[in-house]
Structure 1
Amino acid sequence: MLPLILLGYDERDCLCGVAALAGDPERKGVSFLCATTGDYCDFVGRPENKGTFVAGVLAELKKMEIGSITLTNLPADSDSIAVMQLAASENGYRCFARTAYVCAQVKLSGLERRPGENKPVLPGKKMVRRSLNAMGREAPVRLDHARSEQEILSILPQFMQAHVARFQATGRVSNMERPERRLFLEELTKLLSQSGRVVLTRMMSGPRTLAWNYGFQFHGTWFWYQPTFDSDLEKYSPGFCLLAKLIEEAAENADFSTVDLGLGAEEYKERFANQTRETLYVTLRASRAQHVREILRYRAAEMIKAFPTLEAGVRTVFNRLRKLKSGKPPKRGSV
């Protein structure tokens, strides 16, 4: 995939729109450049120019003979949706949108608060208090926020090492083991620290770090982007405690209205969330056959999911076909 950045300018030659895409020359397809790293992806532009800009992007892709456009994690409340659907038909594309994810959020004004106090009442408060007391035997537990490029880059190696160790402890592979992911966070830090949009939060007791969150602060929202914690402290739920303290701090700061918990349907997020934000998986196809096939595939998958026994059977068949394709014989007794 190759980066494909399309820029829009108004009549005064001022930048008014950015489409950060990635192109696949062989398949004549494009997608959002950050589709695999961003919780939300969208066309960036001024509201008054958004319709013209999105239409211009689709027209340009049509000129480039791009037949397949796949836009993942596009917010359902984005003003891009309506203008895209209109511009798609005008440029010979057929548009289909379905739900991708439902992201948990904490609306800070909706939190319960004690009478006469600004501090919110959060779930699991007794457990959090016991855990913080246990982890803070040597020194009180506190939050430390690194915001400058130098500060964050000095801490990132420790954060990455903890993330890898945490995943290994649960039999998984951390994306931090890939050099590309580590480089991505380093470059993101350099870019966003200049405007104060990135913050690496540590929950600490004395010099020891208990948990981390690499996140963002933008337009009144604090983003819970990539957390991890010290695996040796798992019994104290340090990740849950960090999120609780982060929400408490955000709730006491008038600059914030929301804590966005991002992609992923982890149970602990549901305990804090009091609202959600939906994202869409949008496809635009020049071919009518591809468009119909996209819809049929989705409808069939949804129908299969409605019947767990059928879904299990289909997965078994696909697993067997995958093994046959790779040359590995299926296990004895498999369907």
Structure 2
Amino acid sequence: MHIKHIVDVSKLPLSNKEWNELVSQNETNTLFQTYEWFSSWYKTFSDTNDLCFPVVYDGETPIGFAPLALSKKSNKSITLQLIGYNNADYLDFITPTQKHDAVNLIFDYLLESVENWDRIILNNIPYTSSTSGLIEDACKRHNLHYLKNKSIRCPYLQIEGRQEEVDKLLNKYSNKRPLNYFRRQGELEYRLLTDEEIEKHLPEFFSQHIRRWADTPSPSLFNNPINQQFYINLTQQLVDTDWLHFSVLELDGKAISYHYGFDYDGKYYWYKPSFNIDYSTRSPGSLLIRFLIQSAMQHNRQELDFTIGNEAFKKRFTNKVRNNVNLQIFRKSRTFWIHKALQHTGKLKRRFFE
């Protein structure tokens, strides 16, 4: 078993089919691990991220890889992160076979042969993946400091085997009230956008999201054109797959809510919603979730994964919770102690104001 380090995207030794075959066997297998996601993200953000892509070989055959990027921050420190770090809800190494040896080989290579990094940030690794435990063991073996947060909540609605429970949830008065209101206003239709319609609807989706968050402490990510471009690139990559689930809720033909999400490996994934703020008091976003759940049931999907975030609205529509793990590995002890102090201060602030 050996490593080849790829720094030029044109030299990747895997076709998109070979890449996705490895992903399909991986412990973490979501759309965020696919070649289409990687390609879209790197095409969009390569100006500020250098590829750092260790590929594990068994003889002449690639059996795994770590899709990483070197990101230079304004304070001149250089961070090594999994590609998609600012957009993906689930991240991981792609090491479906001989995982213990593959992860250790990757980590040793990053430590001994990749010199220009100060910190490795591995965020949003599912708690069910063995990767975080293997990385912790490797840190201890090399006497490296690390910080770990394993409380990143990922609520989801399990549908498979619990259809009766989901029906009761949908029939709660609080969840039916938006449906009753909008049906009285006109013709209500929820539908999946066709490939031909998506290009027309993306600008309205962006506009809705920008208006929705304009007067809040967290302005829309779509204020930055590069984030709009990422969604455009991702859409173009996914248009030939069945994985993009971009749906719209319309009242008399006018879009009152959108959801840009995914349909992958028997599950729906909640990713980016928007709604027309003219109807904000009538909960168009909640109504869209209702239709999304009904669609998942009709198509025999196992679950609707609401991905990372513990927003209050998710509690109304979910029945289980997973967790992600965040890891930070430090090359220098001084940097570790600075970040540990900052983390402790942040916890104290949250405790004081809660």
TM range (shorter): 0.7 to 0.9
Q: Secondary structure at the match of 2:200?
A: helix
Q: 5+ unaligned residues in a row in structure 1: which ranges?
A: 312-335
Deviations 1:1-55 (A, max 9, x none): 4232414243354443232322145424312232221122222231x14333322
Cα distance, 1:74 vs. partner?
A: 1.9
Cα distance, 1:176 vs. partner?
A: 0.9
What TM-score, normalized to structure 1?
A: 0.80
User: Could you say which structure has the larger radius of gyration?
Assistant: 1
Q: Secondary structure at the match of 2:285?
A: helix
Q: 1:152 to 1:49 in 2, by over 3 A?
A: farther
Contact kept in structure 1, 2:158 and 2:319, CA below 8 Å = yes
Contact kept in structure 2, 1:23 and 1:29, CA below 8 Å = yes
Tell me which amino acid in the other structure corresponds to 2:283: S
> Mean Cα displacement is larger for which, 159-168 or 223-232?
159-168
Q: 1:159 to 1:305 in 2, by over 3 A?
A: closer
How many pairs does the alignment contain? 302
Given the alignment, which residue of 73, 92, 102 partners 1:42?
92
Q: 1:109 to 1:213 in 2, by over 3 A?
A: same
Q: Structure 1 residue 276 and structure 2 residue 326: aligned?
A: no
Given the alignment, which residue of 70, 77, 93 partners 1:27?
77
Q: 1:23 to 1:183 in 2, by over 3 A?
A: same
Match of 1:73 in 2: 124
In structure 2, distance between residues paired with 1:110 and 1:292: 47
Tell me which amino acid in the other structure corresponds to 1:18: F
Given the alignment, which residue of 245, 248, 253 partners 1:199?
245
Contact kept in structure 2, 1:169 and 1:231, CA below 8 Å = no
Deviations 1:235-280 (A, max 9, x none): 22010011112112212332x2121112332211111121112122
Given the alignment, which residue of 82, 85, 106 partners 1:57?
106
Q: 1:151 to 1:8 in 2, by over 3 A?
A: farther
Contact kept in structure 2, 1:110 and 1:274, CA below 8 Å = no
Deviations 1:285-326 (A, max 9, x none): 122343344444434543454344xx8xxxxxxxxxxxxxxx
Contact kept in structure 1, 2:132 and 2:325, CA below 8 Å = no
Q: 5+ unaligned residues in a row in structure 2: which ranges?
A: 1-47
Cα distance, 1:139 vs. partner?
A: 4.8
Q: Secondary structure at the match of 2:164?
A: coil
In structure 2, distance between residues paired with 1:56 and 1:262: 30
Match of 2:30 in 1: none
Tell me which amino acid in the other structure corresponds to 2:108: A
Cα distance, 1:123 vs. partner?
A: 5.4
Q: 1:304 to 1:205 in 2, by over 3 A?
A: closer
In structure 1, distance between residues paired with 2:255 and 2:84: 30
Mapping for residues 159-308 of structure 1, pairs under 5 Å: 159-168=205-214, 170=216, 173-254=219-300, 256-308=301-353
Deviations 1:106-143 (A, max 9, x none): 111364617xxxx7121573344342233234654232
Q: Secondary structure at the match of 2:167?
A: coil
Q: Secondary structure at the match of 1:88?
A: helix
Contact kept in structure 2, 1:160 and 1:176, CA below 8 Å = yes
In structure 2, distance between residues paired with 1:243 and 1:85: 38
Match of 2:55 in 1: 8
Q: 1:186 to 1:50 in 2, by over 3 A?
A: farther
Q: 1:55 to 1:147 in 2, by over 3 A?
A: farther
Cα distance, 1:228 vs. partner?
A: 0.8
In structure 2, distance between residues paired with 1:291 and 1:168: 36
Match of 2:135 in 1: 84
Match of 2:145 in 1: 94
Q: 1:206 to 1:33 in 2, by over 3 A?
A: same
Cα distance, 1:90 vs. partner?
A: 4.0
> Mean Cα displacement is larger for which, 31-40 or 182-191?
31-40
Cα distance, 1:181 vs. partner?
A: 0.4
Tell me which amino acid in the other structure corresponds to 2:167: P
In structure 2, distance between residues paired with 1:169 and 1:27: 33
